[in-house]
Amino acid sequence: MDDSLYDEFGNYIGPEIESDRESDDEIEDSEFQDNKLPEDDGSDGEHHPPGGWITTINDVEMDNQIVLPEDKKYYPTAEEVYGEDVETLVMDEDEQPLELPIIKPVRDLRFEVGVKDSTTYVSTQFLVGLMSNPALVRNVSLVGHLQHGKTVFMDMLVEQTHHMSTFNAKNDKHIKYTDTRVDEQERNISIKAVPMSLVLEDSRSKSYLCNVVDTPGHVNFSDEMTASLRLSDGAVLIVDAAEGVMVNTERAIRHAIQDHLPIVVVINKVDRLITELKLPPRDAYYKLRHTIEVINNHISAASTTAGNLPLIDPAAGNV
């Protein structure tokens, strides 16, 4: 063996061998015979390209073909999913402005409620006549703690001056004439101060035009109570007999004393002493007496800076 015919790694680098050339020719001849078209006998009716050659694609070669990621098909098209009769649109996610919600909320523009017009016991002309006489006009604010019965007390005054009933027998509740907002009726709480002009009589049957303001009892709406007291000539303090003096009751007393307003106390819900607390008559008396004493203590404490004001006493006619 001649070492010059091989390199240092043992690879043959000499002239081409005759046997290798013949094997390559045989392979080319076999491929030519496989790709050669059969003679056209007119039986199949197919049209072949000129030159007698066709291109055949091997399935194995298609499987091994490299496909770019952007050319791959991962999901079916919209036509394959929904059909050709369905029009599909691909919109930009920012097509809709941010100010427009995807699902519009249901907006109820009705925010106030009312009742049908009812007639009063006095004529409108008589009411206008009282308005023209300032000596017969009284401005009063109903103040007190939350759920102590200010709005229901206002309903009692409306019943005394109107041909109507403020009690709804269907749901066994009062109409709450001054709760004119929808949320006030739903939450069973007063939010805004509501005034009403009523013609009321005193013990001598003397008629006065009373501008009564029903104020909220919640501490978060105490600004409505403060503004109403600034416009009033007096304050009617509503106190629950069972709960007694509460936080907003003390605040109402303090504001009324600062504005030098006379206070009239109405002890409401006395039946709770019997139905809920189960108190005997003597204990119920002491409970009511204690409530009046607590109110007088707050009046005395506030009167040190605002001046001396009369205390609350049933004998004085202010309870």
**How confident is the model over 238-264, as pLDDT tens digits?**
999 999 999 999 999 999 999 999 999
Q: What is the DSSP string of 121-181?
A: SS-HHHHHHHHT-GGGEEEEEEEESTTSSHHHHHHHHHHHHBSS--EETTTTEE--TT--B
- pTM of this structure: 0.65
d(CA 258, CA 307): 9
Residue with tokens 């109820």: 108
- Is the pLDDT confidence value at 278 over 90? yes
Q: Please, which pLDDT band fits residue 37 given cuts at 50, 70 and 90?
A: very low
> pLDDT tens, 67-97?
888 888 888 888 899 988 998 887 766 677 8
Phi, psi (5° rounding) for residue 264? -120, 125
Residue 305: its pLDDT value, please? 65
Q: How many CB atoms lie within 10 A of CB 86?
A: 9
pLDDT of residue 22 exceeding 80, the answer is no
Span 98-145, pLDDT tens digits = 888 888 888 777 767 766 667 788 888 998 999 999 999 999 999 999
Q: What confidence score (pLDDT) does residue 26 get? A: 65
Q: What is the rounded CA–CA span in Å between residue 184 and residue 72?
A: 63
Q: Is pLDDT at 34 greater than 60 in this prediction?
A: no
| Beta-carbon count within 10 A of 137 CB | 15
DSSP of 58-82: -HHHHHTS---GGG---S--HHHHH
| Other CB atoms within 10 Å distance of the CB of residue 251 | 17
Closest alpha carbon to 295 in 258, 268, 264, 261: 264
CATH number of 124-316: 3.40.50.300
Q: Which residue has the higher pLDDT, 122 or 215?
A: 215
CA 212 – CA 200 distance, rounded (Å): 11
Report pLDDT digits (tens) over 2-11: 777 778 777 8
Task: Reduce the secondary structure of 207-234 to three states and give it as a string.
Answer: EEEEEEEECCCCHHHHHHHHHHHHCCCE
Rounded CA-CA distance 191/213 in Å is 13
